[in-house]
Amino acid sequence: MLVLVFISVTLRFYQEYSSSKAAMKLSEFVKCPIKVQRCAGRVVQKELIVQVDHRDVVPGDIVIFEPGDLFPGDIRLLSSKQLVVSQASLTGESWTTDKASDIREDYNTPLLDLKNICFMGTNVVSGTGTGLVVSTGSKTYMSTMFSKVGKKKPPDDFEKGLRWIFYLIISVMLVVVTILFVVNYLTSLDLTQSVLFAISVASVLNPQMLPLIINTCLAKGALAMAKDRCIVKSLTSIRDMGSMDILCIDKTGSLTMNHAVMVNHLDYRGLPQENVLRYAFLNSYFKTDQKYPLDDAILAFVYSNGFRFRPSLWRKIEEIPFDFRRRRVSVILETEDRHSEFFGRFMVTKGALLEVLKVCSFIENFEQDEVSPFSFDDYQRILNLSEDISNEGLRILGVAIRKLEMPQTCETSNGSKREDEDIEKDMVFLGLITFFDPPKDTAKQALWRLCEKGVKAKVLTGDSLSLTTRVCREVGISTDHVITGPELELLDQDTFHETVKRATVLARLTPIQKLHVVQSLQTVGNHVVGFLGDGVNDSLALDAANVSISVDSGVAIAKDMADIILLEKDLNVLVAGVEHGRLTFGNTMKYVKMSVIANLGSVISLLIATLVFKYEPLTSTQLLTQNFIYSVGQIAIAWDKMDEEYVKTPHKSSERGLSMFILWNGSVCTLCDVATLMLLWFYYKAYTDVTQKFFHSAWFIEGLLLQTLIIHLIRTEKIPFMQEVASWPVIFSTVLTSAIGIALPFTPIGKVMGFSLLPLSYFGFLFILFLGYFIVGHVVKRLYILVYKRWL
């Protein structure tokens, strides 16, 4: 038993230690240098700019940041230049946020909407600036989100079931072992022999192989998932994955590609117009001060769709870069191709729709090929069109131009003054450019496969409802029941639980709301919940979920909270994980139920035999040898297969289910042992001291073969050996174990152990007995399934 425990613990330690080492290598915060402005010198203080590790930054430091930098704490901006920050790790929003130092915020502004504050865990996309560190470590906003992280989770149904089984075994052990000790001592008057026999029976009652079988099954699942490019940090999560019936997904990067793709180029009536695309392309092509993902999306759309706008015919004169107040970028271009309709000098402006409309006095009517004054009706029509497009989950940029009749200068990208401060005026509005974060090609197929296996998907995201709804429709997630975080805040507790149960899309959620949704599904809905997320805003939900999943590109804390880390953002990997989890859970439940039934049945039969025959049915040596051979043979269960029907639905363990299973099936094993006792008593007259060796041999073989063959009855709902055959390792283990048990009494070792030769007629009886056992056992199995609607 000590050897088996040592092997089990070593196997689990090695697997989880290896996974933890691999996960640590994925950490993105291993080394993160920060530029800090500090004073140096004992006598004369001088300000120096030094690089320190992010962990050495303290409140009061003035940090200098540029594109790609992570903020080491919560920071109040002191200066900024075209600063764009990604807060996706906190909010879940896939779009970037503009920040500015010279903004005076209202007290009612939500914390994450503050333009002059940058938060720890967010990063600079573009622009530069300096800021004063106001809080670090546990006092940052990000840290306040995780006061509940790390608390011990309550035991799951499987652990509760195992605890109940051990309580049952201990209770039976105290009663049966005490009776056997008293009866054996009163019969033999040998205290040492009676104590040894009682301890041997207690050892037999204990399922010694349970830790090894569980850890072998889990390690096999971890290795199989490693081939699918997954790192399994917690082995028990594989078993929980098999029981998972709800998967909550953070949309950003999980369902979508997490980058913008251009969708259309429309005029003010919503009709596609090539000139809108032409000028948007020229703006993106010639701008140099800052390149955004949306510019790349426009260029990719033009190149991939075969448009030929010939930018070589144009020459860039000046550029008015993007800034926070204007929220637009303008370039002045010139072409000398007198044969072209675009001959002359133009200013092309692209940016936020409302900001572009502010500088427009005219509108291009492509249908009539004329430019008309910009009216209020035109303004309302464009706003209504943009609202309809936004409701479809698309992002919008406005495009406008102005033909310059004479050379004019403006502020250049290096910051020189322009002569005309109002050059962006009296422009002609051309139309809209729309963008979308498209779903992954594999997402719809993976979600459909998960649904087939009984795993329902719910989207929990910080993104807007319109954008999330569009993505969900495209990947096949129902959008009949949707709700937002602000709406959830208004609900009472009962309505909240009912709404969470029905809703499939929950948008604009805060990290705390994601946590409450997961907890509601677990406690009120009694579901096994998985959560897939990669941001700081997902960490609370990851910590609470039964199965927490992140990706290698996720933030450090999300990977720390995760049980499983995906090296590829492909939901099909989760489908394979669910299959591995159900195989692991099924094989584990096979051993748990089989070992408890076999061990309890064997001990009850030993009690009956001891009371009837007034001597030990097996000696301590024979009993332990029988148990050891049987236990070693059961290791092959970890390599068994499951019925196809079993892996199609999630399964959970239950205390009541285990008790009923043992009661129904344990009696069948005891019935077989009683039938053997009756044969030995009435047919072979093996009730005298002279026939003890014969009885020991007969009982040893019958008990070993019964315990070995029981796995084939328990492992499947179908008829064993006819409708369903076990895997070859289990078949090989059964044949080998049976052969050793039958041959042992005929060997010199058997003689030393006190066995005697058995007549051939006894083996004929065993054949009939086990045939009857399979018939009766299968009838009981069908009745049990009919009553309780499940087997394993």
pLDDT digits (tens, 9 = 90+) for 480-518: 899 988 888 888 999 999 999 999 999 888 888 888 999
Interatomic CA distance for residues 439 and 470, integer angstroms? 10
Please identify which residue in the block is written with the tokens 């602000």.
Answer: 486
Name the token pair of 750.
């058997």
Under the banding of pLDDT at 50, 70 and 90, the label for residue 416 is very low
Q: Give residue 415's pLDDT.
A: 44
Q: Is 250 a catalytic residue?
A: yes
Supply the angle between the helices 760-788 and 692-714 in degrees, to the nearest 10. Answer: 40
Q: Give residue 791's pLDDT.
A: 83
> Quick check: 600 and 666 in contact, CB under 8 A?
yes
Kindly provide the residue ranges of all beta strands, DSSP E only, lying in 416-515, ordered along the sequence.
Answer: 427-436, 456-460, 482-484, 505-507
Name the token pair of 420.
């005309």
Average pLDDT, rounded, for the chain: 83
Minimal CA–CA distance to 742: which of 723, 766, 722? 766
pLDDT digits (tens, 9 = 90+) for 654-686: 767 778 888 888 888 888 888 988 888 888 887
- Using CB atoms within 10 A of its CB, is residue 340 exposed (0-12), middle (13-18) or buried (19+)? exposed
> Quick check: 39 and 240 in contact, CB under 8 A?
no
pLDDT digits (tens, 9 = 90+) for 525-549: 889 999 988 777 788 888 889 898 8
- In percent, the amount of the chain with pLDDT more than 70 equals 89
431 pLDDT exceeds 80?
yes
pLDDT digits (tens, 9 = 90+) for 6-47: 776 776 676 566 655 555 554 444 456 888 987 766 666 567
pLDDT digits (tens, 9 = 90+) for 343-370: 778 899 999 898 899 999 999 988 888 8
> Quick check: 586 and 642 in contact, CB under 8 A?
yes
Interatomic CA distance for residues 269 and 266, integer angstroms? 7
> Of 253 and 306, which is predicted with more confidence?
306
pLDDT digits (tens, 9 = 90+) for 228-248: 777 888 777 888 888 899 999
First to last CA, the chain: 27
> Of 103 and 792, which is predicted with more confidence?
103
pLDDT digits (tens, 9 = 90+) for 118-157: 998 788 887 889 999 999 887 888 777 665 555 556 667 7
* AA letter at 521: L
Kindly provide the residue ranges of all beta strands, DSSP E only, lying in 453-546, ordered along the sequence.
Answer: 456-460, 482-484, 505-507, 529-532
Interatomic CA distance for residues 17 and 169, integer angstroms? 32
Interatomic CA distance for residues 430 and 360, integer angstroms? 10
Q: Give residue 381's pLDDT.
A: 92
pLDDT digits (tens, 9 = 90+) for 91-100: 656 567 888 8
Under the banding of pLDDT at 50, 70 and 90, the label for residue 406 is low
Q: How far is CA 153 from CA 148, 150, 218, 391, in A?
A: 11, 9, 20, 40
Catalytic residue among 98, 240, 250, 570: 250
Q: How far is CA 336 from CA 333, 339, 340, 403, in A?
A: 10, 9, 9, 14
